[in-house]
Amino acid sequence: MEMNQKKDMIRLDNLSKHYGTKKAVDGISLTVKEGEMLALLGVNGAGKSTTIKMLSCLTKPSGGTAKVDGHDISKEQTLVKELVGVSTQDTAIARNLTVEENLNFMAGIYLDPKQYDKKKRRERVEEVLQDFKLDEVRKMKSSKLSGGWQRRLSIAMAMIGNPKVILLDEPTLGLDVLARRELWREIEKIKKNRTIILTTHYMEEAQELADKIAIMISGKIVMTGTLEELEEKTGQKGLENIFVSVAEGDRA
C-alpha cells in the first residue's frame, strides 16, 4: 500500500540538451519516487552528466521540462537549488581550502541565514564532519587528500543543506575496492528518506545500491526498471550482462 502512495520526487518530461547539432540529452522522460535511488547507466558520452547538471541547475535544458518535488527546474531555480545537493565529476572542492573551510564555505552558501545563525551553521558543519568521518582530516588542505577522501568530502559538501534530493555523478570513480565499499556504506546512510540519482560505470555498484536502474544510450533512455524487471525484459542474468546486451545491441 504505502509503496504506491509515494510521490514523484523527480520527474523528467521529454528533457533535452543540445550543444550545437549534438543531442547530448535527447528527450528523456523518467520519474524517481520519494526515497528511491536510481542508478543512471550508460557508456562514455551517453548524456548522464548532462542530465545531472540540468537537474541541479548547473546548465539549462534546450527543451522539455523537469520537476523536483513539483518545482520546475527552469522556472523555480532558487527553490530547486535548495532541494538538490549535487556531487559532480568536476567537483566543487576548493583545493586551497582545508576540509573544514570547504564545508564552512558551503554552509555559507546553502544554509539560509534566517534559519542558521553563525552558531547553528558551525553545528551543522560539525555534524557533517562527524557523519562522514572527516574529523581526522579537517585541518588538511583538500589538495592533499587522496582521491577517496576527496570524493567523501565532495559528498559531504553536497549534504550540508540537508537536501531532499542528492545527485551523485560517479561518486566512486577511481577508488580502491575498500574505499569504494566504505563510500557505499556512507551512501546507504544518506539514503534514509532521500531521493538519489547516481551515475556509475560500476555495475556491481548499481546492483548493490539502487532500487531502480535506467540505461542511457546516445542521449536516450532505452530501458528502466528494477534489476528483476530488466532481467525479465532482456532474458539476461545480472546487470553487467543486461547492460552489455542492451548497449551492444544498440551499437550493432
Terminus-to-terminus CA distance in the chain, angstroms?
42
Strands (E) located in 69-145? 71-72, 84-87
Q: Of residues 182-221, which lie at the interface with Mg ion (CB under 5 A)?
A: none
The answer to whether residue 50 forms part of the interface with ligand ATP (CB under 6 A) is yes
Told to check if 51 binds Mg ion by CB under 5 A, we report no
Nearest Cα neighbor of 141 from 97, 100, 101 is 97
Q: Answer yes or no whether residue 6 interacts with ligand ATP by CB under 6 A.
A: no
**From Mg ion, ligand ATP, none, interface partner of 78 (C-beta below 5 to 8 A by class):** none
String of DSSP letters for 159-173: HTT--SEEEEESTTT
Produce one character per residue of 81-103: b if its CB has 16 or more CB atoms within 10 Å, e if not.
bbbbbbbbeebebeeeebbbbbb
H or E element, residue 147? helix 147-159
Which positions ≥6 away from 36 have C-beta within 8 Å? 6, 9, 195, 196, 211, 212
What's the rounded Cα separation, in Å, for the pair 213 and 195? 14
Contact status: 44 vs ligand ATP (CB under 6 A): yes
CB of 142 to ligand ATP, least distance (A): 22
Q: Which does 22 bind (CB under 5 to 8 A by kind): ligand ATP, Mg ion, none?
A: ligand ATP
Q: Which of 15, 24, 41, 49 binds Mg ion (CB under 5 A)?
A: 49
Nearer to Mg ion (CB atom), residue 41 or residue 137: 41
Cell of 74: 527552469
Task: Tell me how far, at minimum, the Cβ of 132 lies from ligand ATP, in Å.
Answer: 24
Residues 91-110 that bind ligand ATP (CB under 6 A): none
Q: How far is the CB of 199 from ligand ATP (least distance, A)?
A: 7
Is position 19 an interface residue for ligand ATP (rule: CB under 6 A)?
Answer: yes
Q: Quick one: which of 30, 46, 93, 167 contacts ligand ATP (CB under 6 A)? A: 46
Return the bridge partners of 25, or none: 17
Contacts with ligand ATP by CB under 6 A lie at 19, 22, 24, 42, 44-50
Contacts with Mg ion by CB under 5 A lie at 48-49
